[in-house]
Chains A and B, each alone.
Chain A
Amino acid sequence: MIEVENLNKSYRKGKIKALNGISFKVNDGEVFGVIGPDGAGKSSLFRILASLILPDSGTATMNRHDVVKDYRKVRQIIGYMPGRFSLYQDLSVEENLTFFATLFNTTIEENYHLIKDIYQQIEPFKDRRAGALSGGMKQKLALSCALIHKPEILILDEPTTGVDPVSRKEFWDMLGRLKEQGITILVSTAYMDEASRCDRIALIREGEFIASSTPQGIIDNYADILWSVEGSRMSALLEALRGHSEVKTSFAFGDKIHITVTERLQAGELKQYLSEKEFSDVRIAPIKPTVEDCFMALTN
């Protein structure tokens, strides 16, 4: 269980406020996602929870151990995976794993069952130097190294950044299986679509949580009317939509445009407007928002 109460952190003598009164709770065995762009404060938050830096004020406990006062105990029970998967590039896969196991006073054999799923995928390369692995494999190795001592809480700082979509998906599948082992997982990401794979999430922006709930809960709290508009000539279409007085926001989402509209607007009316602007083959439909829609609505 993680309990965070009013955490504050600034850098450069107060000029940069990284965390501004963050409070939240993570239950045992939960997968909790902190979702937000770079610079929002995710890494600062995670480092404080991993006992690596001190907060300016506020408290945080990891399974009842205070991160400031009991940092030694915290360091025994957590598994930490910082960004850029800090591995030893010139040691082999197996050497890295053995090293980290010994670091935590255990052996690979002791907790092999925990990492088996993950490690099996890189085991054929166990003698290869970590520096020569692809991004996806490094990620798996880093995760194995963080797990090898059977931590009670796993802290993963942007584990999927820079990794291709296939590996990303596989990684989240692995996390799901770890959850079944009863490990509490705190993970951060800038990819909004990964939010749905967490039990609960918090959207973070400029050091503050702008929303915190289950993914569905956040979606349920979405207050606007959301439509999707499909058509050709995206760039011009966007401009046309933005010109309409009853359209509040329009943003491209892949091959569709998501628009938020006032209550007054009717779909037919909009279609008319667009065909007058020479957009004859548009398809308009109301849609359910994704976490990304929610994030953008909250930050506008």
Chain B
Amino acid sequence: MSGDIELVGSFADEHECIHGVEALRGSKIQPARVFTPFPSEHLTEALGYGRSPVRKIVLAGGITGVLTGIALTVGTSWEWNLIVGGKPVVSIPPFIIICFELMILFGGISGLLGFIFNAGLPEVGEIEGYNERFGSDRFGVVVRCPESDSGRVEALLKEAGAENVYRESA
């Protein structure tokens, strides 16, 4: 949007970064993006992201896996109606193993795919606001705001402990 600029505040400490994010959200400004060198649960909470939807995808995948397992084992047993070793044609104990393993398989794969999709990966092209150091030892808070707000945002970030607040070409 014209008139909007991008400010990037870099923090050296996780807690200061969280304070910065909380200060921004307190002023009704949602950071566009936050880069962290390591995962931070408190930061995710501070950003107000809530629970990830990936768990529902994994659950759905797991249930699909169990049902597929039942379909595969029971279906093929009924189709090839053989009595082996005196066991019933549809014998539950060994079928449990296959249903369980397919649950894990489908759950795992759907979790992976769900995560990739939810995280917006792969991210092709240049990542706005990213600095090499954010993958190493600094936290980066990227804020998109109109030019007029830039002073306020910079003050909030500096107050929370930002080492450096610089402008990124929008």
Q: Do A and B bind each other?
A: no
